[in-house]
Chain A
Amino acid sequence: MDKPRLTREQIAQRAALELPDGATVNLGWGIPNLVSGYIPAGRTVFFHSENGILGMGPRARPGEEDYDLVDAMKVPVTVIPGASYFTQLESHMMTRGGHLDVAILGGLQVAENGDLANWKIPGSKGSGGIGGAMDIAVGARCLIVTMEHTTKEGAPKIVRHCSYPVTAIECAKIIVTDLAVMDVTPRGLALREVALGWTPAEVQNLTEPSLAIPPSGRVPEIAF
């Protein structure tokens, strides 16, 4: 199928709409990292960085970098008014302890019960690494997973059971992909929105578990 899908930027832009004013939010690598550029006007979000920052602002301007003030990807950043610094220990008391309102992480697979796999591809080269992903996935009050709906080969990344090593069990609450927005509910996945020009049936065909679709058979299109 060659219908247009959302770009990575558009996935990030749609996910950003889920962030309420004043929210404390951790962003993972990849698509989630793009979310900070799309905060709706009039909202202030306190971004959490696992290395001990709450209230992280935009990337530092050239010439103004301070290499004692970096994000989790080593990028020199700034802080916004109201920010605080703390230890890595305190940082993960926040993640694990359920103090963050929202975390947005990338995904390799998400299962219908909310299990997330995003830290290791079986058979990949190198040691792999966990970083803060497990702590963040376990503890966030609302975990949003952003990713492409299917693999490069077209296989579903939303599955009945993860075949990749899981990061945390039953943790994802919302999935935003290039085709749809879905909620993870106690009764399984519910389709909330579809990409422009896609039908719920077409999205279902690229999704392994069943998606709950309203009796009308219609769901709204993703809007920004």
Chain B
Amino acid sequence: MKDKVIASVDAAVADVPDGASIMFGGFGGAGFPNNLIRALARKGTKNLTAISNNCGTDENELGILFKNRQIRRVIASFPGPRAVYFQELFAAGQIELELVAQGTLCERMRAATAGIPAFYTPVGVGTEIAAGKEERRFGTRRAILETALSADYALIRAHRADRIGNLVYRKAARNFNPVMAGAARITIAEVEEIVEVGALDPEVIVTPSIYVHRVVQAPGRRDG
């Protein structure tokens, strides 16, 4: 059985190369992999593509990576007015942004997880985000074509893991984390507690171990 536990958050991100695309879980201050983000900041990896709902709060959450100018391109649904370091770079034309409707962002990740290259959705029809996208009509409904979204890495936060990477979450800290887990080539989960294999009830596991490649224990850290 493959033990996926890594000794430290720094070791967990040690192989992330410059130019990597990375999904970051978290929403509304809950479920952010803040310890892994800090490790990435210490490592100084550059030219990253960040895929995340938002772009941090001041220098918290993803904010530190924008402050350090480690991110070159962003795919997000709501960067946020308090993402001050992102907004500075955006205003200066130093960062590329692809805005995606939040449900479409999730569904594109789900498609990648499920091996589906693209799908039609009514969300965005008749809006700016439909520009350049194929449109089709299904019965009376108009829909646009959206493509699957995968990444090199997903950095996520869960509440508890076993040593092979089955994950359970707490309350609304679940948010994007399980969605991203399957969409990345390498998924790294930081968790409050690691338990032995067999200690988690199979009925309650939210993210099955098959989607998780590394697990690291790190105390919850609320930023922002």
Residues of A within 8 A of B (CB): 49-53, 66-74, 85-89, 91-93, 95-96, 115, 120, 125-135, 138-139, 165-169
Q: In the bound complex, do residue B90 and residue A127 qualify as a contact, i.e. CB atoms below 8 Å apart?
A: yes
Chain A residues contacting B76 (CB-CB under 8 Å) are 129
Q: Is the CB of A92 within 8 A of B90?
A: no
Q: Is the interface of A mostly helix, strand, loop or mixed?
A: loop
Complex CA–CA separation, A74 to B81 (angstroms): 14
- A135→B123 contact, CB < 8 A: yes
State in angstroms the CA–CA spacing of A68 and B221 once bound together.
Answer: 11
Contact yes or no, B103 A115, CB < 8 A? no
Mask of B117-160 contacts with A, CB within 8 angstroms, 1/0: 00001111111110000000000000000000000000000000
Q: Evaluate contact between B28 and A70: CB separation under 8 angstroms.
A: yes
Residues of B within 8 A of A139 (CB): 122-123
Instruction: Tell me whether A96 and B122 are in contact (CB under 8 A).
Output: yes
A51-B175, A130-B129 given. 14 additional CB < 8 A pairs?
A68-B170, A69-B172, A87-B179, A88-B176, A89-B109, A92-B102, A92-B103, A129-B78, A130-B77, A130-B101, A132-B103, A133-B101, A134-B104, A166-B126
Instruction: For the complex formed, measure the closest distance between the CB of B155 and the CB atoms of chain A, giving whole angstroms.
Output: 16
**Chain A residue with minimal CB distance to B142?**
A169
B97 within 8 A of A: yes
- Docked pose: A71 CA to B126 CA in angstroms: 29
**Closest B residue, CB atoms, query A126:** B87
How far apart sit A139 and B142, CA to CA, in the bound complex (Å)? 13
B24 within 8 A of A: no
Asked whether B30 is an interface residue with its Cβ less than 8 Å from the other chain, the reply is: yes
Contact of A127 with B97 in the complex, beta carbons under 8 Å: yes
Name the residue of chain A whose CB is nearest to the CB of B100. Answer: A130
Task: Tell me, yes or no, whether B171 is within 8 Å of chain A by CB.
Answer: yes
Residue on B nearest A66 in the bound complex, by CB: B171
Task: Choose one: A51, A85, A86; the contact of B27 (CB below 8 Å).
Answer: A51
Q: Which residue of B lies closest to A92 (CB)?
A: B103
Instruction: Provide the bound-state CA to CA distance between A88 and B76, in Å.
Output: 14
The 10 closest A-B pairs by CB, nearest first: A92-B103, A135-B103, A129-B78, A169-B126, A134-B101, A131-B78, A89-B106, A68-B173, A69-B171, A132-B102
Which positions in B face A, CB cutoff 8 Å? 27-31, 53-54, 76-81, 86-87, 90-91, 97, 99-104, 106-107, 109-110, 121-129, 169-179, 206, 222
B residues near A73, Cβ cutoff 8 Å? 28
Q: List 30 contacting pairs A-B, 8 Å CB cutoff, sorted by A.
A: A50-B102, A51-B175, A53-B172, A68-B30, A68-B172, A69-B30, A69-B172, A70-B172, A72-B28, A85-B169, A85-B174, A87-B177, A88-B175, A89-B179, A91-B103, A115-B126, A127-B86, A129-B76, A129-B79, A130-B100, A130-B101, A131-B102, A132-B103, A134-B102, A135-B101, A135-B104, A139-B123, A165-B128, A168-B123, A168-B127
Q: Taking A50-B102, A89-B106, A131-B102 as contacts, is the C-beta distance between A165 and B127 under 8 angstroms?
A: yes
Q: Tell me, rounded to whole Å, the shortest Cβ–Cβ distance linking A42 to chain B.
A: 28
Q: What are the residues of chain B within 8 A of A52 when measuring CB–CB?
A: 172, 174-175
Q: Are A168 and B126 in contact (CB under 8 A)?
A: yes
CB contacts (< 8 Å) of A72 on chain B: these are: 27-28
Minimum CB distance partner of B181 in chain A: A87
Q: Which residues of A contact B53 (CB under 8 A)?
A: 88
Question: Please, which residues of chain A bring their CB within 8 A of the CB of B104?
Answer: 134-135
- With contacts A68-B172, A88-B176, A89-B107 taken as known, whether A127 is within 8 angstroms of B27 at the C-beta atoms is no
Cα of A165 to Cα of B99 in the assembled complex, Å? 14
Q: Is the CB of A128 within 8 A of B172?
A: no
| Beta-carbon nearest neighbor of B76 in chain A | A129
Residues of A within 8 A of B170 (CB): 68
Whether A51 contacts B28 by the Cβ 8 Å rule is yes
Q: In whole angstroms, how far apart are the Cα atoms of A58 and B54 in the complex?
A: 25
* B117 → A minimal CB distance (Å): 18
CA distance A128 to B172 in the complex (A): 25
A92 to B121, CA, bound (A): 12
B77 touches A86 (CB 8 A): no
Contacts of B102 in A (CB 8 A): 50, 88, 92, 130-132, 134-135
